[in-house]
Amino acid sequence: MAGLPRTRFLLFLLFWSLLAVPAGGDELSSWFVADPRAHSYTGVQSELQGLIEAARLQEVPIGTLIDKLREGASKGVDAGRLIAALRETIERMVQARAILEQPSGTTAGSEENVQAFSILLQRGLPEELARELIAYGRQAGRRMQAIRTACDAVTSLLAVRALEDEDALKVGELLLASKLPVSAYRSLASVYLKAKASGLDDSEVLNDVIIGTLESGGGIVSMDEKINKGQATKEAEKQPGGSAKAGDSQAGPPAEPPGQSKDHKKK
């Protein structure tokens, strides 16, 4: 009988250890055990578990989904909205994985790539544009980091300037074909905003400053130089005696003083 309390104690420890580390590494159950904020969602735990299992079958990164749950719980999002947000996240990740599918049937769908393209899709990157830039980048031998960053740059540019599909694709391809450091790709949106603030119109910014510079092999410094030159030209045109604008009549010779004929000047 003396050993009974110790036996019960050991059974108690075993019970809690099983709860703390669920069989099969169940991330969702671990979240419910470890995070007090998860208790508010106990009523929908089975529904959440079904979504997680469906996502696992589709090779969606589960860790990202648990992070989404943590984020929602920290903000006090109600259960219905949290489930809807989780479902949308899963759908985007499945879409991102499909975009990363190669013609051979293999994928570049690492968790990092799937998560990155899922976020880009959420930010407004068109699916077809993503596919075309991925295909171009692979053909050009670029790494996925460069392709992701080029897609990121184009998405940021689309957020500040509505582009035709062919223009967006051209900008992305020029970035991947250029010698610009990958870290400089994200500067395009800032370049566009700076150029617009300098008084340049949309066509000048897109075709001359951005596309023209990339086609000629220039970089961000060259874009800045074009912006400064364009700004100086426009400011000069506004000054008295500045360059005549297209369509303005050209100034002629001074008019004759009133009442003075040409014959009178000849002596």
Mean of the per-residue pLDDT values for the chain?
Answer: 81
- pLDDT recorded at residue 108: 61
Domain presence at residue 28: yes
Q: Is the pLDDT at 9 greater than 70, yes or no?
A: no
Q: For residue 73, what are the domain limits?
A: 22-99
Domain presence at residue 55: yes
Q: Report the C-alpha gap between 71 and 79 in whole angstroms.
A: 13
- pLDDT recorded at residue 245: 45
In DSSP terms, 107 is beta-bridged to 101
Mean pLDDT over residues 28-33, rounded?
88
Q: Is the pLDDT at 13 greater than 50, yes or no?
A: no
Q: Is the pLDDT at 203 greater than 80, yes or no?
A: yes
The CA dihedral of 78, 82, 84, 87, to the nearest 10 degrees, is: -170
- pLDDT recorded at residue 230: 87
Tell me what percent of the residues of the chain surpass a pLDDT of 70: 78
Q: Please tell me the pTM assigned to this model.
A: 0.73
Q: Output the DSSP codes for 82-109.
A: HHHHHHHHHHHHHHHHHHTB-TTS-B--
Tally of domains in the chain: 1
Per-residue pLDDT band for 59 (boundaries 50, 70, 90) equals confident
Domain presence at residue 87: yes
Mean pLDDT over residues 11-31, rounded?
53
Per-residue pLDDT band for 175 (boundaries 50, 70, 90) equals very high
Residue with tokens 């370049």: 191
Contact predicate 93/121, CB 8 Å = no
Per-residue pLDDT band for 241 (boundaries 50, 70, 90) equals low
Q: Report the C-alpha gap between 248 and 10 in whole angstroms.
A: 96
Q: Is the pLDDT at 172 greater than 60, yes or no?
A: yes
- pLDDT recorded at residue 189: 94
pLDDT digits (tens, 9 = 90+) for 68-121: 999 999 999 999 999 999 999 999 999 999 999 876 555 666 888 999 999 999
Q: How many Å from the N-terminal Cα to the C-terminal Cα in the chain?
A: 145
Domain presence at residue 37: yes
Mean pLDDT over residues 199-222, rounded?
93
Contact predicate 125/153, CB 8 Å = no
In DSSP terms, 101 is beta-bridged to 107
Contact predicate 224/190, CB 8 Å = no
Residue type, 60: V
pLDDT digits (tens, 9 = 90+) for 148-159: 999 999 999 999
Domain presence at residue 124: no
CB atoms within 10 A of CB 208: 16
- pLDDT recorded at residue 101: 83
Per-residue pLDDT band for 12 (boundaries 50, 70, 90) equals very low
